[in-house]
Chain A
Amino acid sequence: MSFHVLFLVSILAGFIGAMSGMGGGVILIPVLTLFGMDIKYAIAVSIVSVIATSSGSASAYVRDRITNLKVGMFLEMFTIVGALAGAAITLVSGRRILFILFGIVLLSSWFALLRQRSEGWRQASHQDIFSRWLELKGSYYDRSVGQTIVYHGTRAYLGGPLMFGAGVIAGLLGIGAGALKVLIHDLVMGLPPKVSTTTSNLIIGVTALAGASVYLAAGMIDPGLTAPVILGVVFGAFMGTRLLVRLTNQAVRRIFLGVLLVLGVEMILRGIWGV
């Protein structure tokens, strides 16, 4: 694949990924395979670019003191082991099954976005002993309401193992699996939406590195293919975040829903028919 195609596809993926908040990988991999790239190489290239986008945005959120570092660092123990396992599975699994799994993840994201969670957040009534021992608490200044929100995380005993699963998916398919991580933070651990999104962002970088190390060892990270993708995704994500303020949420959501549905169905069909 030529530099121009890789670069342009990656800009598009980074752009849509940043605007939708779903990350670049879910768009990048299906499109790269449409241009003829082997799905396993597309996964390997994508997971390296995920390090770039997640680290770039996490740096801002961490310095804004919204990210909960302790929650992130506790959960990373599970996601990295999951990512290693996931990437190892990809190396030995058939390509058609990867297409089908990817399609299922795309359609699940489509479904999750369709039934978008409500922004309302209520503090969990009590914190279990384990989560208290883990010091899973924090506060951040919420600019939109002009107040400092104090919160605590719960059910870490459940959140950890579930995060292992999110790590497996990330390593297996070369994506951040941010939507799944956010869901675990929100529904299981009771973190406020802003904290769960930004903390998930921090975890994604380390998780992607664990997965990338397996692909690197397998000789699947081709610098000539990876570099244009990193540059494109970073550039696209930068533009996407700038444009986000100008487009209405509803328009972005509708575009992204359409893209997810088409790519999801297309990936499953290619997996079934073997094309």
Chain B
Amino acid sequence: MHVSTHPLEKAKSGHHFDMESLVGYILLTGVLLSVAFLAVAFVWRWARVGNLRFEHSIVGMNFFEFILSTLRQMASQAFRPRLFLNMGIGVLMLTPFVRVLASVFYFAFVEHNWKYTLFTGFVLSVLTYSLFLR
């Protein structure tokens, strides 16, 4: 085991924005945003109809169609608790996807590490394919 004693090493490395910060903040933002959307959906539903039951399904569409249809309805000012609920689930599922997408760009344009650009690119392609399934 190689051991060196540089307690300040970590603190120093934390000063610049690197891949760890990028990945860490994407994950944190995604989860917090998702929980916020879900909480708003339930509080609103409770205030409006007095129960917390949502009865709608995601059938016959792929993930991206699900997100787009939710966004389209929100854009046409049709704000409903159900749409916030969909956004909460959508944002959560997008979180690891965006993390992988950001990693591809980071490896390609910041680190110029083609090996890992290829690896993360493969993961991104498989995930994109699977999210297009329906």
Chain A residues packing against B (C-beta within 8 Å): 2-4, 48, 51-52, 55-56, 58-60, 62-63, 65, 67, 69-70, 73-74, 76-77, 80-81, 84, 121-123, 133-135, 140-141, 146-151, 202, 205-206, 208-210, 212-214, 216-217, 219, 221-224, 226-228, 230-231, 234
CB < 8 Å: which of B9, B39, B58, B93 contacts A209? B93
B58 touches A73 (CB 8 A): no
**B residues near A226, Cβ cutoff 8 Å:** 89
A80 touches B123 (CB 8 A): yes
Least CB distance, B54 to chain A, in whole angstroms: 4
A210 touches B130 (CB 8 A): yes
CB < 8 Å: which of A2, A60, A76, A223 contacts B56? A223
A68–B49 Cα distance when bound, in Å, is 47
In the complex, the chain B residue whose C-beta lies closest to that of A121 is B1
B2 touches A62 (CB 8 A): no
Q: Is chain A's interface secondary structure helix, strand, loop, or mixed overall?
A: helix
CB < 8 Å: which of B56, B66, B93, B130 contacts A84? B130
**B residues near A216, Cβ cutoff 8 Å:** 58, 62-63, 66, 93, 131, 133
A147–B115 Cα distance when bound, in Å, is 31
B95 touches A205 (CB 8 A): yes
A46–B63 Cα distance when bound, in Å, is 18
CB < 8 Å: which of B2, B10, B27, B60 contacts A219? B60
Q: Please give 9 more A-B residue pairs, beta carbons under 8 A apart, in addition to A222-B57, A223-B54, A227-B41.
A: A3-B53, A63-B20, A135-B116, A150-B3, A216-B63, A219-B59, A223-B56, A230-B35, A231-B42
Judge if B77 is at the interface, Cβ distance under 8 Å.
no
Judge if B4 is at the interface, Cβ distance under 8 Å.
yes
**B residues near A80, Cβ cutoff 8 Å:** 123, 126-127, 130
Judge if B25 is at the interface, Cβ distance under 8 Å.
yes
Least CB distance, A208 to chain B, in whole angstroms: 8
The number of chain B residues touching the other chain, given as a range, is 35 or more
Q: List 5 A-B contacts (CB under 8 A).
A: A70-B116, A84-B130, A206-B127, A221-B89, A231-B42
A213–B90 Cα distance when bound, in Å, is 11
A234 touches B63 (CB 8 A): no
**B residues near A221, Cβ cutoff 8 Å:** 58, 89
A213-B130 contact, Cβ under 8 Å, with A3-B53, A48-B93, A219-B60: yes
**B residues near A122, Cβ cutoff 8 Å:** 1
CB < 8 Å: which of A3, A150, A231 contacts B4? A150
Flag B3-24 by CB within 8 Å of A: 1 or 0 each: 1111101100110000111011
Shortest Cβ-Cβ A-B pairs, 10 listed = A224-B54, A63-B24, A59-B27, A217-B133, A3-B52, A141-B10, A59-B28, A213-B130, A219-B59, A62-B24
B20 touches A213 (CB 8 A): no
CB < 8 Å: which of B30, B31, B58 contacts A223? B58
Least CB distance, B19 to chain A, in whole angstroms: 6
A69-B53 contact, Cβ under 8 Å, with A55-B30, A209-B93: no
A227–B59 Cα distance when bound, in Å, is 17
A73-B54 contact, Cβ under 8 Å, with A62-B23, A206-B127, A213-B127: no
A223 touches B4 (CB 8 A): no
Least CB distance, B134 to chain A, in whole angstroms: 5
A219 touches B57 (CB 8 A): yes
Least CB distance, A27 to chain B, in whole angstroms: 20
Judge if B97 is at the interface, Cβ distance under 8 Å.
yes
**A residues near B42, Cβ cutoff 8 Å:** 3, 227-228, 231
